Amino acid sequence: MNDSIESMEEMPGVRRAVSRPARQRKTIQSYHVDSDSDSVPDPDSDSDSDFDTSEIQELVQPKKQTKPKKQQQPKKQQQPRQQQQQAKSSDSPKKRGVKRKETASPTSTVNASASKSKSQKTVKEEVEGTGTFASPPPTVKATISNVKEEVEGTGKFDSPPSTVKVTVSKSKSQKTVKEEVGGTGTVKSRKKVSDDDIQIIFEWDPAKVIAARQGVAEWVAKNVVIMFDQENTLPFIARYRKEKTGNMEVEKLREIQNTYSQLKNVQEKVVKILKNTEMKDKIPEERKVALLHATTMHEVEHLTAAYKGSGKRSYAERARELGLEPPALEVMQGTYNKFINRQELYSLVDQSTEGLCTIEEVEQGLQHIIADNISKDPQVLECCRELMRNCRPLLECSRAKKTIKKDQGKAGAKKKDQGKAGAKKDQGKAGAKVTGPSEELCAKYTNYFEYKNLAWNTKPHAMLAMNRGEHQGVLSVKVVIPDHTNMRFFNFCQQKWQRAPPHIYRTQLLMKAIEDSWERLVKPFMMRQIRSELKEIAEISSVEIFAQNLKKLLLSPPVRGKTVLAIDPGFANGCKIGVTNPQGEIVLTNTIYPFRGTQHLNNNQDWSRDHNAQTLREIVLKYECELFVVGNGTACREMENYLTRLIGQKCFDHYNVQYSIINETGASHYSVSDEARSEFPGMDPNHISAISLARRLQDPLLEYIKVQPKHLGVGMYQHDIPERLLHASLDSVMIECVSFVGIDINVASEFALRKLSGLNKTRAKNIVEYRKTKGPFINREQLKSVKGIGPRTFEQCAGFIRIMPETLEEQMKKTPQQKKRAEKDISDPLDRTQIHPESYSQARKFMTLVAVRPQDIGTVSFINTVRRFMQNKSVRELVEKCNCSAPTMSLIIEGLSQPTRL
């Protein structure tokens, strides 16, 4: 066959595209590698039957022959495999350098790892995902040599999935071929390119992973991922994009956002690894493909642990350094039927090299390499995921043994020649090192001393408690994998790597490696992965509970129209008093000392003899305070009894004074912050705390958002949660609450504007400066004139901003210039509602159908007319008439059916 091919190359009109060696010629063939199959076509095979002579005819040009066709030589007898390999390697450089026709097989595919020969210089690979995206998430291009990254994103739907392009440089002495890797282990031949450029695309679709983990429809997950990539905020998506989320609640959207953030961290970690100039040369190509399948950070760490620059190397790495990887791969794949008996391993024995001195050491090295390759195989990792879910693992927890360091015995053995005084001194030091948790600490975890349950049925709070107890040395937690799981693992590995016909010695060596991989690598990996997932589930569940608690706190009903006297109680430092008027403005600050001495213990003492009671009476009578608020910190009970006695003795005459206990968590942190110093310049931080307590009763939302969420004490295990995850979630809840309630842009403080959807510290400051220099906002469109607010920011925040006519009129009365400006600019009544400006045209059509005037929005008659109209109409009918989606129509009806007062 080879002679016939060479004779055809000399024919006129025939390009020498097939003059490569047989091993390289096979890259022209077209076949697909099934990722699920156990066997992979071998590109190194020398069988003549694999070569299709029809490809030669495709390369022949339809021109007439100018030279007579040479007579074909008779086919040579098949030589032994080793001789054929030597003949291939002896091909002339002229033949190896012949340019291959690019159009011969534009869509041909071969195995990715097998097609990369040592004679190539760079291989450009592009791994393509199989799923379709509703919109392209960010594309990250990372050039390893130049460390260059570029993030791109578009807003179109039904586009290819996200891609991560990584450039890797190889040695200059090799050829450069551009290959595109698609699916699982497939390569598409393209054309020659310059050195650099390997294009890698992750083998998993984030939307599909999110849909599987969160139990949502895939089309919903795709749309949500798109909107997150376009930097849409949770409040905006939850309120104004319901048709793309299937009316999903904001809590579920937050869970999807957390999951997507974790997946992006995995992608960034993989890109960082492939950019690392030290690790990129260490990691083999098949391991890089495995990294593209990793969907958790733990899998990435598992795949790259052996290639980190740690001093301790794994057994497999030591064996690879001895050159045992090629024979180990031959034992796994059985390509050339080598090492089918133990005698063939004697060729690898080298008595002068440690680790190769005996045949037993060679066998052990091969076993370590095979075990490592099995544990890092992508299909094996996928099998491990299924086993972890279906094998019903157990989680066991018991009391940990007290750690006692045996330094005393060691010290005595090492220092026999020292004197008795020195020995006693050493024994004393050793005795001081005896450690162990206290009995008081152990008593907190008695419920977990004999805990045993299915791992996936463990409650999140129990998992966090066991993790904390294990960290404190009280508990010992472990995951137990059932015994029957290893049989399923063995069967999977046998089906994947067992070749026909089976050879006894090769099978024995392979089975020992599989058993070693299970006991030493795979099983511990599954146990760590289960613990990691349980911890992750517990943390996410705890964050959700913290978010719910914070949301309830922020949305507490306000007490409006009352002058409030707040008391921050204390003993030695006194009780700080702060008084605010119904608008929340500071009226008075003071300090009283009712708990000095023993006078407060006498419940029969007359208030007229207590100067602290007289001070409180004067404040009540002067500012007409009928509402007291007491912080729930130190001396709260004593202050509650004190006020009860004064009210019972009618200290405040005819005023019906009442008191309330309020949560003061975070008030002390806020009082010493930079925001507090800028809001209350020169005021004592203790009095700032009292003022904050008063405002928490009058307007909880606007006051609580000034405090960092982690200081509000919204859960038990918040200090066990990663601070980044907790802060992001709780800050998102604050933005959600402020946005859904809405704020009046003409009176809102800078702190409140910071927590509005789409705004930040700089934009909020620019809005306040705009109000000071150019006057109040007359309509929402004027928000576009503020520096830093473009179309995207306006889209995110416009629907949550209100322009109330009452406050606008008050601001206009301040200067005549603002009155003239108001005459030029036209206010829109729809700016008082939650309807987004993008839906104003549909809202006006609806008001025309109802026969109401926009000027009456928010009045009782307007609201009653809309409600009566909807009694005889359905949303579906109005959708067609107003030309909008059903969720948008429902939002318009809801916005016009509610009072506009904030």
Token reading at 176: 């450069």
404: number of Cβ within 10 Å: 13
User: In 3D, which of 783, 773, 767, 775 has the Cα closest to residue 808?
Assistant: 775
One-letter-per-residue 3-state SS of 354-373: CCCCCHHHHHHHHHHHHHHH
What is the rounded distance in angstroms from the CA atom of residue 310 to the CA atom of residue 353? 23
Measured at the alpha carbon of residue 105, what is the angle toward residues 100 and 110, in degrees to the nearest 5? 100
CB 322 within 8 A of CB 356: yes
291 SS3 class: helix
Q: Is pLDDT above 60 for 411?
A: no
Question: What is residue 474's DSSP assignment?
Answer: S
Work out whether the CA dihedral 131, 378, 225, 139 comes out positive or negative.
negative
Global model pTM greater than 0.85: no
- Strand 148-152's sheet: what is its strand order? 148-152, 139-143, 164-167, 198-200
What is the rounded distance in angstroms from the CA atom of residue 41 to the CA atom of residue 335? 10
Token reading at 575: 């009780």
Place of tokens 């019906």: 656
Q: CA of 388: how far to CAs of 207, 304, 384, 607, in Å?
A: 22, 21, 6, 71
| One-letter identity of residue 802 | R
Q: 112 or 850: whose pLDDT is higher? A: 850
Q: CA of 185: how far to CAs of 268, 347, 441, 750, 756, in Å?
A: 22, 33, 54, 55, 47
What is the rounded distance in angstroms from the CA atom of residue 120 to the CA atom of residue 122? 6
Average pLDDT over residues 160-164: 39
Average pLDDT over residues 832-858: 93
pLDDT tens-digit map of 567-591: 999 988 899 999 999 988 999 999 9
Token reading at 596: 């000095």
Most confident of 103-117, 145-159, 819-833: 819-833
R_g over Cα of the chain? 38
CB 23 within 8 A of CB 88: yes
Q: Are strands 164-167 and 139-143 parallel, antiparallel or unpaired?
A: parallel
- Start-to-end Cα distance in the chain: 88
Average pLDDT over residues 737-744: 91
pLDDT tens-digit map of 529-551: 999 999 988 988 888 888 888 88
What is the rounded distance in angstroms from the CA atom of residue 743 to the CA atom of residue 749? 10
User: Any idea of the CA torsion for 97, 103, 108, 111, to the nearest 10 degrees?
Assistant: 20
Residue 468 burial by CB count (10 A; 0-12/13-18/19+): exposed, middle or buried?
A: middle
Q: What is the pLDDT, as a whole number, of residue 421?
A: 47
Q: Is pLDDT above 50 for 657?
A: yes
298 SS3 class: helix
Q: Secondary structure of the chain: what % helix, strand, coil (to 5)?
A: 55, 10, 35
Q: Is pLDDT above 70 for 137?
A: no
Task: State the average pLDDT for the chain.
Answer: 75
